[in-house]
């Protein structure tokens, strides 16, 4: 039946669900929708067969077939249903829910049986003709593959790169994948599930070598999709294992060659492509030939002699062609040779072409003109730069160098020498890097990079990639370092200067080793050494010293990698050769650096066989490195010497060296933080301040083992509190009472913390080590320490299990997973506290978590002995550190005032659903209801923004003077870049509506705010950032001076969040502090009798970080004052009987 919307609505009653139209709907005659609606009738068999044929073969003819039925039967004709059990197919225009009504008995005019047969026969013939034409493939559509590597048993199709797109469905990725083929299908069809596919392929690889090749392909794909370049290193390892197991397998060889090529191992890649071509004749072989052709294609080489000859001939075209790929070597040749010659014509010609190549930069023409008028030559700027570069490397040299560069930069800018200005910025960056001021170095490198990239100067671009690689590695950002190193490697074939090529491979090797791929690092070291030897093989006598210096550096570096691979003999040989070659370099600074590094590697090689000699080697290295210079290197040497001393049984020396290492680090960190501006360099701080976490852990372990658990607490506190404390002090939000406790910006000691804890409050501070957990129990009246057996991998496993169960909404598994962390982390401390309290439960528990503990829902942890969750025992507060908890107490006290508390309530923002990160998300109607219900209690004291009004500018402007800020919106945690985790608000002019953690840190001011409630998914979860380990969206609020933040560890239902949030504000308005109010709200849900609300997944993810007292008068105080309001303000809106909140 071809039905019109109006007709069917009037006869049947329609519920329109607003979906896209479909052509066919199957209904059962046992529940008829209509019987014979005014017109001709048709029976089951012919139409059913025809319809099935249509559905299977000619979907593209939907419109035509509808029109065909209209012509034959008319618009208002329907089926005459004769039996109650036969199916019939109805044609409809929209996907609608049909609501059956009473059958309509309508008489119809009879039609002869012959006429009906003729019509049916005509329909069948036409359908067959249409089906035949639809099945003809007159123009075959090209099918492309979107994954570049080769998967097992995949047919060849041409490859076309497709830009990464957000998932088209919010369906979760499967945790269990049954077959190898299912994993490959998932990898190809659902990019967002690449991790799941890789996890499954790892399992299959244990029994199937083909899965190894597919794992290599999957890693390669993830590297492309997610720009996670370290996956290429994993891919190479897997591909090599696959080819070792299947030497002649074409799929494994294809993937191996592809990965080798992407990592810069061109010769190895050509060997693998040739091996593939020897036994493969498929379309994959043609693709392999294309790769080989590109690898063998001639690469332009800088030829100074050809340029000189062209200048001599005055051949402008040849000069232009020769210098086009090489602006940097051409500029060096111009400055060092041509300007010193007595040929102004050649100088002018090359200057003009250089200026043309560099977008009209006047530096070269001005320098050429100065050959005849040398009074104002710009070469003076280049000469001064060279002098700064070669200043002796000693204390105070950095400040002198920067002062000398400043007027040069100003003059270059004034004269519009853009290229020279970029070189000055790159030199300034190098000086900062030498001083370990890596953020300043990166900022200057970035500015220079933009200029060099715009000019197409591949040599300078490669050099800056290499330098940024080193800086990122020193900052602990190994992934970013490898990304930069890989970019440099891809330019290396077009790099002219041998020293730059050498250093590029060296940086690649160091970073690969840092990422724990020493075998691959060794290949880069071998390539670098071979390149140095090739470049200097035919050097004139004056170049021999440079050759020796470079080879010595490479040998030393290679020895370091060989030690990681336990190749001690090779390392010893390389060290001996490095020592021999590094005896008399021309540059004393280079000599010192190389000799210090040689002593360091020497110490590493002796560490296990002769610890005392290792101590001597590290001491020799420390004696060479200047004081107050290369502080990261000095800290590393102290830490290594401490390990050697401990192996030698000299624990006291080891402890002193660990303290010296941390002192060096603190000196470097202080210099960096002194220049920091809030929000700048946020991506780097977390990794930077965790670089020497192992050193802190080693010192804490050693102090505890020697019974010095109080100093151990102090070092644990320094490791997590120093950086956020600096940010809080820098922003000026700390009360004076707190500033007096930290006069030098150092975190508080254990004894300094104790007086600020309330009676009955106990603070548990954890440090999770590789093989155990150190726990300090601190109260106003005393402190103690216990060592627990929970290992780091145990805590990580518990956290992962709970997070996975929460994602799958698996309540039984979640409940079971709550018991082990309670038993291993909380049972002993709570028993000790009970003894101190004479069996009484503490009034409050403050937990300073460590590492993966931040992912544990402490409120829900279950005591199997008492059959209680932790929240049933006492209120719980989490804190980033003991020092920051004291800050929250004093800040909360400072904010107490007689003014009525105001509130800013943001709910259900009309976010931009077209944003990639918002794809698949829906509006939150209960969030709107949530803030409106809360606002009803505040009355005129509340400012509410919902829908289009809930914008970022409004939030930033209104939040600064509100006592309470409540946000009910979508939060999206970015695990790979936590500082880009976002809150989704409504867009406004010039603003997308997405505000990330970095922008919050930079722009958010909360002068009077005592509590922020993030009623959003995972708002207190995600990958912890900063040395204090708090969630990315919580960190900007704490450092902005907010005493307490309430958030969630994982995704929560819209309705659940509303229920808990409204209950929380009711209790908070009755005078409970934030932790007490949250406990009351959670217990209400737990004891509600409603299975959905009782579920741990509903209430356990909510937690309070910090401390916020209630600005409202408590119910008890109000009653004791005869009903008058004598609290911190004169009215308490939460005691109104508004039908929402009970009195």
Q: Each residue of 425-466: pLDDT tens digit? A: 999 999 888 877 787 888 899 999 999 999 999 999 999 999
Q: What stretches in the chain show pLDDT beneath 50?
A: 1-49, 51-52, 54, 57-60, 69, 72-111, 134-139, 166-168, 1122-1143
Return all residues near 887 (Cβ < 8 A) that are at least 6 apart.
725, 728, 734, 738
Pick from 261, 242, 260: which is nearest to 250 by CA? 242
Pick from 714, 741, 727: which is nearest to 1038 by CA? 727
Torsion of CA 1083, 1084, 1089, 1093, to 10 degrees: -90
Pick from 714, 724, 838: which is nearest to 783 by CA? 714
Give the span between the Cα atoms of 992 and 40, in whole angstroms: 57
β-pair type (1044-1048, 862-863): unpaired
Give the span between the Cα atoms of 1022 and 411, in whole angstroms: 48
Token pair belonging to 513 = 């080793």
Distances (CA, A) of 1049 to 400, 799, 969, 1079: 50, 11, 15, 16
Pick from 256, 252, 285: which is nearest to 271 by CA? 256
If residue 621 lies in a helix (H) or strand (E), which one and from where to where? Answer: helix 611-624
If residue 965 lies in a helix (H) or strand (E), which one and from where to where? Answer: strand 964-968
Instruction: Give the model's pLDDT for residue 710.
Output: 94
Instruction: Give the model's pLDDT for residue 100.
Output: 40
Pick from 119, 89, 70: which is nearest to 29 by CA? 89
Token pair belonging to 426 = 């790159």
Instruction: Give the model's pLDDT for residue 682.
Output: 65
Give the span between the Cα atoms of 664 and 63, in whole angstroms: 77
Give the span between the Cα atoms of 341 and 344, in whole angstroms: 8
Q: What is the CATH number of domain 733-878?
A: 3.30.420
Which architecture, in CATH terms, is 480-584?
Alpha Horseshoe (1.25)
Token pair belonging to 374 = 């040398």
Give the span between the Cα atoms of 975 and 997, in whole angstroms: 13
Give the span between the Cα atoms of 1035 and 1000, in whole angstroms: 9
If residue 796 lies in a helix (H) or strand (E), which one and from where to where? Answer: helix 792-807
Q: Coil, strand or helix: which one is 1045?
A: strand
Give the span between the Cα atoms of 882 and 898, in whole angstroms: 29
Pick from 306, 260, 299, 329: which is nearest to 491 by CA? 299
Instruction: Give the model's pLDDT for residue 8.
Output: 32
Neighbours of 619 (CB within 10 A): 15
Distances (CA, A) of 748 to 35, 751, 767, 1036: 84, 8, 17, 22
Token pair belonging to 604 = 């590493």
Pick from 1142, 1061, 1072, 1054: which is nearest to 1111 by CA? 1072
Fold that domain 185-296 belongs to in CATH: 1.25.40
Q: Are 506 and 557 in contact (CB under 8 A)?
A: yes
Over the range 884-913, which residues count as b (16 or more CB within 10 Å of their CB) and which as e? bbbbbbbbbebbeeeebbbbbbbbbbbbbe
Give this prediction's pTM: 0.72
Q: Give the start-to-end residue ranges of the domains of the chain.
A: 5-135, 185-296, 299-374, 378-456, 480-584, 587-660, 733-878, 897-1135
Token pair belonging to 255 = 């993937």
Over the range 115-131, which residues count as b (16 or more CB within 10 Å of their CB) and which as e? eeeebbeebeeebeebb
Angle at 822 between CA 1018 and CA 833, to 5 degrees: 115
Give the span between the Cα atoms of 941 and 938, in whole angstroms: 5
Estimate the share of the chain in helix, then strand, then coil, as percent rounded to the nearest 5.
60, 10, 35
Distances (CA, A) of 548 to 20, 499, 501, 525, 533: 74, 12, 16, 16, 10
Torsion of CA 157, 163, 168, 171, to 10 degrees: 80
Instruction: Give the model's pLDDT for residue 429.
Output: 93
Instruction: Give the model's pLDDT for residue 588.
Output: 60
> Sheet holding 970-972: strands in order across?
970-972, 982-984, 994-996
**Length of the chain in terms of residues written:** 1143
Return all residues near 367 (Cβ < 8 A) that are at least 6 apart.
334, 335, 339, 347, 351, 377, 378, 379
Domains 733-878 and 897-1135 share a fold: no
Instruction: Give the model's pLDDT for residue 451.
Output: 95
β-pair type (942-947, 876-878): unpaired
Pick from 1055, 1052, 1031, 1046: which is nearest to 1096 by CA? 1052
261-269: long-range pairs with CB below 8 Å, 24+: 261/291, 261/295, 262/220, 262/232, 263/232, 263/233, 263/236, 263/486, 263/489, 263/520, 264/486, 264/489, 264/490, 264/492, 264/508, 265/523, 265/527, 266/295, 266/493, 269/295
Give the span between the Cα atoms of 815 and 807, in whole angstroms: 14
Q: Report the chain's C-alpha Rg in angstroms.
A: 36
Instruction: Give the model's pLDDT for residue 29.
Output: 30
β-pair type (773-778, 761-768): antiparallel
Domain 897-1135 has CATH 2.30.40.10: no
Give the span between the Cα atoms of 985 and 967, in whole angstroms: 10
Pick from 466, 464, 470, 468: which is nearest to 452 by CA? 464
Residue in the block written with tokens 């009903």: 1123
């Amino acid at each position: 039946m071809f039905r019109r919307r109006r007709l069917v609505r009037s006869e049947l009653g329609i519920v329109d669900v607003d979906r896209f139209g479909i052509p066919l709907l199957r209904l059962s005659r046992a529940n008829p929708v209509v019987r014979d609606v005014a017109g001709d009738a048709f029976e089951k068999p012919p139409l059913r067969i025809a319809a099935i044929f249509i559905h299977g073969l000619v979907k593209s003819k939907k419109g035509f077939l509808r029109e065909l039925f209209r012509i034959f039967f008319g618009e208002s004709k329907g089926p005459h249903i004769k039996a109650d059990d036969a199916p019939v197919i109805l044609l409809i225009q929209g996907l609608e829910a049909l609501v059956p009504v009473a059958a309509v008995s309508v008489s119809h005019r009879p039609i002869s049986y012959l006429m009906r047969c003729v019509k049916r026969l005509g329909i069948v013939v036409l359908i067959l003709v249409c089906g035949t034409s639809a099945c003809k493939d007159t123009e075959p559509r090209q099918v492309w593959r979107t994954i570049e590597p080769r998967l097992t048993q995949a047919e060849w199709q041409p490859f076309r790169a497709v830009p990464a797109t957000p998932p088209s469905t919010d369906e979760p990725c499967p945790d269990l994948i049954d077959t190898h083929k299912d994993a490959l299908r998932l990898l190809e069809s659902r990019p967002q599930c690449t991790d799941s596919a890789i996890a499954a392929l790892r399992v299959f690889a244990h029994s199937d070598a083909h899965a190894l090749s597919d794992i290599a392909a999957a890693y390669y794909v993830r590297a492309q999709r997610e720009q996670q370049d370290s996956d290429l290193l994993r891919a190479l390892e897997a591909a090599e294992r696959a080819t070792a197991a299947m030497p002649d397998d074409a799929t494994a060889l294809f993937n191996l060659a592809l990965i080798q090529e992407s990592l810069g191992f061109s010769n190895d890649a050509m060997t693998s492509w040739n091996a593939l071509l020897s036994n493969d004749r498929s379309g994959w072989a043609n693709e392999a030939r294309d790769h080989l052709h590109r690898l063998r294609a001639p690469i332009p080489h800088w030829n100074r002699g050809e340029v000189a000859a062209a200048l001599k001939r005055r051949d402008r075209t040849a000069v232009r062609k020769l210098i086009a790929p090489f602006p940097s070597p051409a500029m060096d040749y111009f400055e060092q040779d041509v300007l010193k010659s007595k040929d102004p014509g050649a100088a002018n010609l090359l200057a003009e072409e250089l200026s043309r190549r560099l977008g009209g930069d006047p530096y070269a023409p001005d320098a050429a003109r100065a050959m005849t008028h040398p009074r104002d030559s710009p070469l003076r700027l280049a000469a001064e730069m060279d002098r700064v570069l070669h200043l002796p490397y000693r204390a105070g040299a950095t400040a002198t160098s920067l002062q000398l560069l400043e007027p040069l930069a100003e003059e270059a800018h004034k004269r519009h020498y853009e290229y020279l200005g970029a070189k000055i910025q790159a030199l300034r960056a190098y000086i900062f890097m030498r001083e370990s001021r890596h953020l300043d170095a990166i900022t200057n490198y970035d500015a220079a990079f933009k200029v060099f990239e715009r000019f197409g100067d591949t040599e300078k671009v490669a050099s800056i990639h290499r330098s940024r690689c080193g800086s990122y590695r020193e900052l602990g950002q190994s992934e970013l370092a490898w990304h930069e190193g890989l970019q440099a490697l891809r330019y290396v074939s077009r790099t002219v200067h041998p020293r730059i090529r050498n250093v590029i491979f060296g940086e690649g090797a160091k970073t690969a080793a840092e990422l724990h791929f020493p075998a691959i690092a060794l290949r880069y070291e071998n390539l670098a050494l071979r390149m140095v030897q090739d470049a200097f093989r035919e050097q004139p006598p004056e170049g021999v010293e440079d050759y020796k210096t470079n080879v010595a550096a490479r040998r030393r570096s290679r020895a370091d990698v060989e030690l990681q691979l336990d190749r001690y003999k090779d390392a010893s040989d390389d060290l001996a050769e490095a020592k021999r070659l590094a005896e008399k370099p021309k540059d004393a600074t280079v000599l010192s650096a190389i000799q210090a590094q040689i002593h360091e590697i020497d110490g590493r090689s002796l560490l296990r066989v002769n610890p005392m000699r290792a101590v001597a080697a590290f001491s020799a290295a420390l004696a060479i490195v200047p004081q107050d210079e290369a502080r990261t290197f000095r800290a590393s040497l102290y830490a290594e010497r401490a390990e050697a001393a401990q192996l030698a049984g000299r624990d006291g020396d080891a402890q002193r060296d660990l303290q010296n290492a941390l002192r060096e680090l603190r000196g470097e960190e202080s210099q960096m933080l002194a220049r920091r501006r809030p929000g700048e360099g946020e991506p780097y701080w977390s990794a930077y301040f965790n670089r020497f976490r192992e050193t802190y852990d080693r010192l804490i372990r050693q102090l505890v083992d020697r019974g010095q658990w109080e100093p151990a607490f102090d070092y644990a506190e320094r490791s997590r509190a120093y950086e956020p404390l600096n940010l809080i002090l820098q922003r000026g939000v700390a009360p004076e009472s707190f500033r007096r406790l930290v006069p030098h910006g150092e975190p508080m000691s254990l004894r300094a913390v104790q007086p600020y804890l309330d009676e009955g409050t106990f603070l548990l501070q954890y440090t999770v080590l590789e093989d155990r957990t150190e726990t300090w129990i601190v109260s106003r009246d005393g402190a103690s320490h216990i060592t627990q057996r929970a290992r780091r991998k145990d805590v990580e496993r518990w956290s992962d299990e709970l997070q996975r169960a929460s994602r799958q909404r698996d309540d039984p598994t979640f409940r079971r997973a709550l018991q082990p962390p309670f038993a291993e982390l909380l049972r002993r401390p709570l028993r000790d506290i009970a003894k101190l309290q004479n069996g009484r439960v503490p009034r409050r528990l403050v937990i300073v978590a460590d590492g993966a503990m931040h992912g544990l829902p402490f409120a829900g942890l279950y005591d199997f002995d008492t059959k209680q969750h932790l929240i049933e025992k006492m209120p719980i507060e989490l804190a980033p550190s003991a020092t920051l908890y004291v800050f929250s107490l004093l800040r909360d006290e400072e904010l107490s005032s007689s003014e009525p508390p105001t509130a800013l309530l943001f709910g259900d923002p009309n976010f931009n659903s077209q944003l990639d990160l918002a794809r698949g998300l829906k509006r939150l109607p209960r969030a709107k209801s949530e803030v409106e219900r809360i606002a009803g209690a505040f009355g005129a004291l509340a400012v509410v923004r919902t829908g289009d009004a809930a914008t970022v500018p409004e939030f930033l402007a209104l939040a600064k003077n509100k006592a309470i800020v409540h946000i009910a919106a979508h939060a999206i945690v970015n695990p790979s870049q936590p500082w880009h985790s976002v809150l989704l608000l409504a867009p406004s002019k010039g603003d997308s509506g997405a505000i990330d953690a970095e922008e919050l840190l930079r722009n958010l001011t909360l002068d009077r705010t005592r509590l922020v409630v993030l009623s959003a998914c995972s708002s207190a979860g995600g990958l912890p950032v900063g040395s204090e380990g708090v969630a990315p969206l919580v960190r900007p609020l704490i450092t902005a001076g907010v005493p307490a933040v309430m958030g969630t560890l994982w995704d929560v239902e819209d309705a659940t969040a509303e229920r808990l949030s409204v209950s929380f504000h009711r209790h908070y308005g009755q005078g409970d502090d934030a932790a007490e109010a949250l406990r009351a709200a959670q217990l209400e849900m737990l004891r509600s009798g409603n299975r959905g609300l009782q579920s741990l997944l509903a209430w356990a993810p909510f937690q309070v970080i910090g401390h916020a007292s209630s600005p409202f008068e408590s119910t008890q105080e109000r009653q004791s004052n005869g009903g008058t309001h004598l609290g911190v303000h004169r009215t308490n809106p939460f005691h109104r009987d508004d039908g929402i909140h009970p009195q």
